[in-house]
Amino acid sequence: MKSLIMKRVALAALAMVALAPGALGDDVPFARPPLEKSLDTYLISLGDIMSAAQLRHIKLWQAIKAKNWGLVNFEATLLEDGFAAAAMLYRNIPIEFVTEAAKPLEALKDGAAAKDPVKLAKSFTELTAACNACHEAGEVGFVKIQTPTSSPFTNQNFAPERK
């Protein structure tokens, strides 16, 4: 009789086949998941981390425009966390592309602390360039990020807190 552990191994092997990345994961080298992927774990896809980054990129821009320094700091921190998670989970991503994105994010936090709109605008442009540099290197250069022209977040008031 198969031991429980053998059954689990067989199940995990099956799960790896069933959960094997789709064509996209195979095509995009940076998005190749780690080998440990099994039924026991839920791995957030790199595309989903990036979709969240896309939303936060818009919110960041809205926050800069609204001079909501607290929100600038908040969104920059969440973007950093997302990229850190991406770097840890998707180890084919060359780390220098992550640090290139981290630099303007740090500058954005500094700019928010200094309430410096000029520094913030410059850092936002640098952040967008870092998004695109990694996309080009990662064979997804067709995902072109730009400064937003409007915001879909009509359910969020971006004005700073009144204290």
HEC string of 65-130?
HCCCHHHHHHHHHHHHHHHHHHHHHCCCCCHHHHHHHHHHHHHHHHHHHHCCHHHHHHHHHHHHHH
Q: Least separation, in Å, of the C-beta of 1 and ligand HEC? A: 41
CB of 68 or CB of 86, closer to ligand HEC: 86
CB of 57 or CB of 109, closer to ligand HEC: 57
CB of 12 or CB of 137, closer to ligand HEC: 137
Q: Least separation, in Å, of the C-beta of 99 and ligand HEC? A: 9
User: What CA–CA distances, in Å, run from 72 to 30, 68, 78, 86, 155?
Assistant: 28, 6, 10, 21, 18
Best CA proximity match to 14, nearest among 40, 44, 46: 40
Q: Least separation, in Å, of the C-beta of 116 and ligand HEC? A: 20
* Contact by Cβ (8 Å): 102, 131: no
CB of 29 or CB of 160, closer to ligand HEC: 29
Running DSSP on this structure, what letter comes out for residue 30?
G
Q: Least separation, in Å, of the C-beta of 115 and ligand HEC? A: 22
Q: Least separation, in Å, of the C-beta of 109 and ligand HEC? A: 14
CB of 12 or CB of 94, closer to ligand HEC: 94
Residues that bind ligand HEC (CB under 6 A): 24, 28, 30-31, 45-47, 50-51, 53-54, 57, 79, 83, 93, 97-98, 101, 127, 130-131, 134-135, 138, 140, 143, 145
With a CB cutoff of 8 Å and minimum separation 6, the contacts of 86 are 46, 49, 50, 93, 98
